Amino acid sequence: MQGVGAARGLGQGGRGRQADLEALLLLAPGLLLLLVFVYWPLLYNLWLSLHDWNLVRPKAEFVGLANYRFLLQDPLFGQLLRQSLLYMGLALLGNFLLPLGLALLTLQVRGRWAELYQALLFAPTVAAVSVAALVWLYLYLPAAGPLAKGLAALGLPAPSFLADPRYALPAIALVANWKFLGFHYLIALAGLKALPREVLEAARVDGAQGWPLLRHVLLPLLFPTLLFLLLSALASALDYAFVPVEVMTQGGPFGHTSHLMYAVYQEAFRFFRAGVAAAQAVLLTLGLGALILGQLYLLGRRGYG
């Protein structure tokens, strides 16, 4: 009997190892793509950040942490960091808080009006980012643009949206927010419509209304959607931070619309300082990772996790 049990155990172990091998073979193509196109570039960028290389010289010179010391001591890097934080804050406002608020308001609308609002809000999403940037470049024209003419008709002074350092970066962020507002709005609306009706009705019967209903019932139930919206807002802000700046201002006026995402491109392909660009990319990745972890921690502490 012991021999039969041992043979059965060996047979089950063999089948388990075969199943593991089959699983590894199925995962191998995806893992290979991750290694080649994600992890290897990350490691190479980290290696490059420790070297001085101008993209033309055959060999890169090892300089250790000199690129990081240069960035941390450079006043321009501090300005880029502040502008990056402002840009990310505007992105969260336009692609996280605003879509959620619009979705809550849309639930109060019935009939075809609700469908019309959804279509109007989602329409900018289908446009290419470069096209959206060109449209807003026309809207921002100082004298002949529609915004300037509208303000002049109201007797108000029209600022130079892209030439004034006070308005340039918010004007750039508005383009990206307008482009992706509809996508995040539909996600928030779908999350709200998927909430269990019986729970909401029970909360209303117990007297929960207004802010208490939103804070203690809606937000905890909506946490998975909020988490996705948060990460998607950050991702879209990073993915499409380059095109509006390149098309509309090229970092001007006087660098006030540049940020770390755009500065990495400038350092590498305009100033040919690949090591400094790689160090900027490493610091940007670490900063964004800390920002995401901090936001998740705060959401969890407030009882939404």
pLDDT band at 281 (very low <50, low <70, confident <90, very high): very high
pLDDT at 305 over 60: no
Q: Decide which of 2 and 67 is more confident.
A: 67
Task: Look at the block and give the residue holding tokens 């960091």.
Answer: 81
Helix axes 98-106, 168-193, angle to 10 degrees: 40
For the entire predicted model, the pTM comes to: 0.78
Task: Look at the block and give the residue holding tokens 């999403």.
Answer: 125
Q: What pLDDT does 10 receive?
A: 47
CA-closest candidate to residue 197, choices 216, 218, 214: 218
Number of Cβ within 10 Å of residue 127's Cβ equals: 14
Tokens of 241: 């931070």
Residues 232-245 have a mean pLDDT of 81
Q: What pLDDT does 200 receive?
A: 72
CA distance 79 to 256: 8
Helix axes 146-153, 129-139, angle to 10 degrees: 30
Interval 76-91: pLDDT, tens: 999 998 998 898 888 8
CA distance 238 to 183: 16
Q: What pLDDT does 66 receive?
A: 95
Q: What is the DSSP string of the chain?
A: -HHHHHHHHHHHHHHHHHHHHHHHHHHHHHHHHHIIIIIHHHHHHHHHTTEE--SSSSSPEE-TTHHHHHHHH-HHHHHHHHHHHHHHHHHHIIIIIHHHHHHHHHTT--THHHHHHHHHHHGGGGS-HHHHHHHHHHHT-TTTSHHHHHHHHTT-----TTTSTTTHHHHHHHHHHHHHHHHHHHHHHHHHHTS-HHHHHHHHHTT--HHHHIIIIIHHHTHHHHHHHHHHHHHHHHHTSHHHHHHHTTT-STTTT--HHHHHHHHHHTS--HHHHHHHHHHHHHHHHHHHHHHHHHHHHTT--
Interval 175-201: pLDDT, tens: 888 888 888 999 998 888 888 877 777
CA distance 245 to 258: 7
Q: Decide which of 196 and 208 is more confident.
A: 196
Q: What pLDDT does 11 receive?
A: 53
Count Cβ atoms within 10 A of the Cβ of residue 172 and give its class: 0-12 exposed, 13-18 middle, 19 or more buried: buried
**Residues 227-263 as b or e (16 or more Cβ within 10 Å = b):** bebbebbbebbbebbebbbebbbebeeebbbbbbbbb
Q: What pLDDT does 14 receive?
A: 64
pLDDT band at 67 (very low <50, low <70, confident <90, very high): very high
CA distance 151 to 149: 6
Q: Decide which of 115 and 281 is more confident.
A: 281
Q: What pLDDT does 85 receive?
A: 86
- Tell me if 132 sits within 8 A of 179, measured CB to CB: yes
Interval 118-173: pLDDT, tens: 888 888 888 888 888 999 999 999 888 899 899 888 888 888 889 999 899 999 99
CA-closest candidate to residue 240, choices 180, 284, 280: 180
Interval 243-275: pLDDT, tens: 899 999 998 888 889 988 899 999 999 889 999
